[in-house]
């Protein structure tokens, strides 16, 4: 099996070492071997990206539009093929893998159109005969550090706007999902781009990732990952006053009111908590339920959770694939033990199970009779584990939703317009869902949170321009015509 290489300064290069990538649904399935970039190669990427960015910034808008359109169309056309590869290496069910790649293609075509919508402002000065021009320019060379849970989509919603607004990219994907990274890099590499404009540098976060964020050659860093790593990146970036955008942890809550549609509530809780094997930053791991319908809701959700099919990601009918790695599985099982020790009732699931192929399988867990001040309701678990918290009123439910260090998404199930409106205005989260699961966002509107969930300008939609550009104000005194 051929070594899969990094893409640096327009060339596919081997590294100093390599890693194996195995299928979490079937550990006997070796997906490939992937090169790890060296420090010298990273230095080459810095130099090439800096030079290429100057060329790209002066490239016509239609050329940018064409390149991004081509990338997006190929991703959508190949979504079945590349979605299968994604599910094979990350473990999410095949339908989710295909859907992720198709959505990634839509990100590119959306930002292809955005290249033609880069409008500025004009104004008259308070001084006579002076005009003012305000416009946005590329920020420069952008470091992109993406996570393993959405290996294509999250990377793309950073890469696409970076290129659309005239920047160069140095991308370090998560080492757990290199196959999807190489596949995407191959599509980008075949476009008519300046050499070095886009670079793929695979490697461990402790060495390659750290060197990337510490470099003075980087003008901006977009990161998605844990709070601890995000804070380390911020500490490193401040030395160079590097612009940063970070999406980090979450502890999202779905509030289920007694006037809500109970079946809808169960559907939203099930999909929100366990979709993607619970490995979503938008997952609803806290279910805050009004006491009047608590018991009925818990019974219905428990029955639905028990019926979910856990199996190989590529197998027909699978609803939950494996978790991504042995490390993640061990962490998940430790949280199950913690839930028990804190006094929670494990109504179903939370077991490491075996299937026809050896993989990192566990059943989705529903934990009842929990308190919001327990660790399982304070810490991000990134697992198919949902905890139920009983609330005596709407006011108490809203308080519990907001009682967290995080603030990414929240949701409410209610038929009351007054409650829905009040919740939407008072939930301290960046995204609020009404009668919807907490997981699931659109690409043409901003995404991000508050507190420990996010730092810096929003991602996605037109709001991405704030991060990937810098504002320039020009004053022009043209004189008097002769």
* Residues with a known catalytic role: 247, 281
Cα–Cα distance measured from residue 296 to residue 290, given in angstroms and rounded to the nearest whole number: 11
Nearest to 423, CA basis, from 259, 214, 262:
259
Cα–Cα distance measured from residue 105 to residue 87, given in angstroms and rounded to the nearest whole number: 17
Cα–Cα distance measured from residue 287 to residue 401, given in angstroms and rounded to the nearest whole number: 9
Strands 6-8 and 253-256: unpaired
Instruction: Return the H-helix or E-strand segment holding 45.
Output: helix 39-57
The angle formed by the CA atoms of residues 276, 109 and 280, to the nearest 5 degrees, is 15
Q: From residue 288, how far is each of 222, 305, 399, 402 by CA, in Å?
A: 32, 17, 10, 11
Residue keyed to tokens 């430790």? 334
Cα–Cα distance measured from residue 250 to residue 272, given in angstroms and rounded to the nearest whole number: 13
Which alpha helices (H) appear in 58-177, and where do they start and end?
A: 61-77, 79-90, 94-114, 153-164
Cα–Cα distance measured from residue 355 to residue 334, given in angstroms and rounded to the nearest whole number: 21
The tokens describing 150, both together, are 């959405």
- The C-alpha torsion from 148 through 153 and 158 to 161, rounded to 10°, is 170
Question: Long-range contacts of range 340-346, CB-CB < 8 Å, 24 or more positions apart?
Answer: 342/370, 342/371, 342/374, 342/375, 342/376, 343/369, 343/370, 343/371, 343/374, 344/368, 344/369, 344/370, 344/374, 344/376, 344/387, 345/369
Q: Helices 61-77 and 153-164 meet at what angle, rounded to 10?
A: 160
Cα–Cα distance measured from residue 8 to residue 6, given in angstroms and rounded to the nearest whole number: 6
* CB-CB contact of 430 with 454 (8 Å): yes
Cα–Cα distance measured from residue 104 to residue 318, given in angstroms and rounded to the nearest whole number: 23
């Amino acid at each position: 099996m051929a070594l899969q290489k990094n893409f640096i300064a327009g060339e596919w290069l081997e590294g100093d070492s390599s890693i194996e990538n195995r299928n979490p649904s079937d550990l006997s399935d070796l997906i490939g071997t992937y090169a790890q970039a060296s420090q010298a190669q990273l230095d080459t990427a810095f130099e090439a990206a800096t030079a290429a960015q100057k060329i790209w910034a002066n490239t016509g808008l239609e050329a940018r539009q064409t390149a991004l359109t081509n990338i997006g169309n190929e991703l959508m056309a190949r979504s079945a093929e590349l979605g299968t590869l994604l599910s094979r290496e990350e473990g999410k069910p095949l339908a989710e893998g295909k859907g992720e790649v198709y959505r990634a293609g839509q990100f590119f075509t959306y930002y292809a159109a955005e290249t033609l919508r880069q409008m500025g402002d004009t104004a008259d000065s308070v001084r006579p005969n002076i005009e003012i021009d305000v416009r946005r320019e590329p920020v420069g060379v952008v470091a992109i550090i993406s996570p393993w849970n959405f290996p294509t989509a999250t990377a793309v919603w950073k890469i696409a706007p970076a290129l659309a607004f005239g920047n160069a990219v140095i991308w370090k994907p998560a080492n757990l999902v290199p196959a999807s990274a190489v596949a995407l890099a191959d599509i980008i590499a075949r476009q008519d781009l300046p050499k070095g404009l886009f670079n793929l540098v695979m490697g461990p976060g402790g060495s390659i990732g750290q060197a990337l964020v510490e470099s003075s050659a980087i003008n901006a860093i977009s990161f998605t990952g844990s709070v601890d790593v995000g804070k380390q990146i911020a500490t490193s970036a401040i030395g160079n006053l590097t612009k940063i955008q970070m999406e980090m942890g979450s502890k999202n809550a779905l509030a289920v009111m007694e006037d809500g549609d109970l079946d809808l509530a169960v559907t939203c809780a099930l999909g929100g908590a366990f979709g993607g094997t619970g490995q979503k930053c938008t997952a609803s791991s806290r279910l805050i339920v009004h006491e009047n319908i608590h018991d009925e809701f818990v019974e219905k959700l428990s029955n639905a959770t028990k019926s979910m099919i856990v199996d190989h990601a590529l197998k027909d009918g699978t609803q939950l694939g494996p978790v991504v790695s042995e490390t993640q599985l061990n962490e998940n099982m430790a949280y199950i033990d913690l839930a028990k020790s804190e006094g929670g009732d494990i109504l179903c699931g939370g077991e490491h199970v075996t299937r026809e192929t050896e993989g990192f399988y566990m059943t989705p867990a529903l934990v009842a009779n929990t308190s919001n001040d327990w660790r399982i309701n304070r810490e991000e678990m990134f697992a198919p584990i949902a905890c139920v918290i009983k609330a005596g009123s709407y006011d108490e439910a809203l308080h519990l939703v907001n009682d967290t260090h995080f603030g990414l998404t929240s949701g409410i199930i209610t038929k009351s317009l007054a409650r829905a409106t009040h919740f939407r205005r008072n939930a301290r989260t960046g995204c609020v869902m009404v009668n919807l699961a907490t997981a699931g966002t659109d690409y043409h509107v901003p995404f991000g949170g508050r507190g420990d969930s996010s730092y810096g300008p929003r991602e996605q939609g037109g709001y991405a321009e704030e991060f990937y550009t810098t504002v320039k104000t020009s004053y022009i005194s043209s004189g008097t015509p002769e």
